[in-house]
Amino acid sequence: MKETDPKITPDTEISDQSQEKGLKMIGSMTPHKGHTLYQFNTETNVLSVAQFEDASIDIKGNVTNSKVIIQPNSLYFSCLNVKNAMRYIKKINPNVLVINYTK
């Protein structure tokens, strides 16, 4: 019977070549009308309004979509106000006892 796994000797180095630098699309989100996009840091339990990069307008008047500045260990979601955002956090993670809100 043939072996399908390649043989690795102690002198062989395994390198990960998938570490390319650049932009990678993680996902997209369209908030409902009148909602605000919130960011919740899961390590520090801090809730804040998500920060956006400036949108640009070209000569023809076309507006490009604004992009969210992504922070590590953060969740992003849209809610009507802060009270509903805190409710949403407690719904998805009941172990969170204290939520700090910064503007």
Instruction: List the chain pLDDT tens, one digit each, 103 residues.
Output: 555 655 555 554 544 555 556 667 777 878 888 999 999 999 999 999 999 887 777 778 777 777 888 898 999 999 999 999 999 999 988 888 888 888 7
Hey, where are the domains in the chain? Answer: 36-102
Pick from 99, 8, 9: nearest CA to 47: 99
**Bridge partners, 40 (sequence order):** 47, 75
Alpha-carbon distance 39 to 48, whole Å? 5
